[in-house]
Amino acid sequence: MSNQPTRRNGTDTPSTHEPELVAVPFLKAAGSEPVELLTEQQRQQLLQCATIREFPARTIVYRAGSPADSVFVIAEGVIKSYRDLASGRRRIAAFMFARDLFGLAEAGHYVNTVQTITPVRVYEIRFEALTELFQREPGIELQFLCKIVHILREVQHHTIIMGRRDAVGRLAMLLRLLQKQSQMRGHREIALPMSRSDIANYLGLSPEAVSRASRRLERQGIVEFVGRGEVRVIDRQRFAAVAAAA
């Protein structure tokens, strides 16, 4: 597969699904599950101003500091958002999945580098087209704001994870986040498409510490790592207890 993204206009293919955004709305009760934010009409309006792009796994979508001209809605696949530090270390800020939004910028430039983990299909929407759509349809702008707030909540959760002193707790909290994503896609097991190195960078641990934490969760009968890309929860009650913020 080529490393160059495939492009096509959002109206070219009859089988194309409309862009979707999922988040917990502002007025939902605490503990509510994420829901689809956009109406069918709003999805169609976004589709009309979107370009569909397909990227192979391990492809850079854009680099930190490059000029920002678009936002992206993920249709399929998993990406990571990261910064390479002056020390030579890499810090992964977020993993993002289908129906997530990325591409927000500061002073006209992208803040983080974004790279695909799996093959990815996205809807690319130019800022000019999105601004014009917001002006015509304030309801869509409100739903994008709701999604951005949802992303900020996820960033706060990452901060809480990093506050855990124990590697087992950090790993369990990440698995709990991934479990929610898997359940949204109808999977019973936890999909784990990222590498151990990516997990270590996200958790602020060494790959060896991640391996030890994984083995400990397995020895305690809490989870089972099935191959390289899947985790099965064996003891739900103990898993929830370990993954709870402390």
Q: Provide CATH 2.60.120.10 ranges for the chain.
A: 6-161
Mean pLDDT of 144-162: 88
Give me the amino acid identity at 215: R
- For 77-127, write each residue's pLDDT tens digit: 999 999 998 888 889 999 999 999 999 889 999 999 999 999 999 999 999
- For 164-199, write each residue's pLDDT tens digit: 889 999 999 999 989 887 766 656 789 999 999 999
Q: Which range, 5-9, 23-27, 124-128, 154-158, is most confident?
A: 124-128
Q: Provide CATH 1.10.10.10 ranges for the chain.
A: 165-243
What value does the CA radius of gyration of the chain take, rounded to a whole number of Å? 19
* CATH code for the part of the protein at 6-161: 2.60.120.10
What strands lie across the sheet with 90-96, from one edge to the other? 60-62, 113-116, 79-84, 90-96
Report, in this order, helix, strand and coil percent for the chain, each rounded to 5.
Answer: 35, 25, 35
Give me the amino acid identity at 194: M
CA–CA separation, 234 vs 82, rounded Å? Answer: 32
| The pair of three-digit structure tokens given for residue 79, joined into one six-digit string | 């990406």
Max intra-chain CA distance, the chain: 57
* DSSP label at residue 217: H
- For 33-56, write each residue's pLDDT tens digit: 788 899 999 999 999 999 999 999
Find out whether 125 and 23 touch, Cβ atoms under 8 Å: no
CA–CA separation, 208 vs 65, rounded Å? Answer: 32
Q: Give the pLDDT score at 88.
A: 82
CA–CA separation, 199 vs 119, rounded Å? Answer: 18
Fold classification of 165-243 is Arc Repressor Mutant, subunit A (1.10.10)
Q: Give the pLDDT score at 12.
A: 44
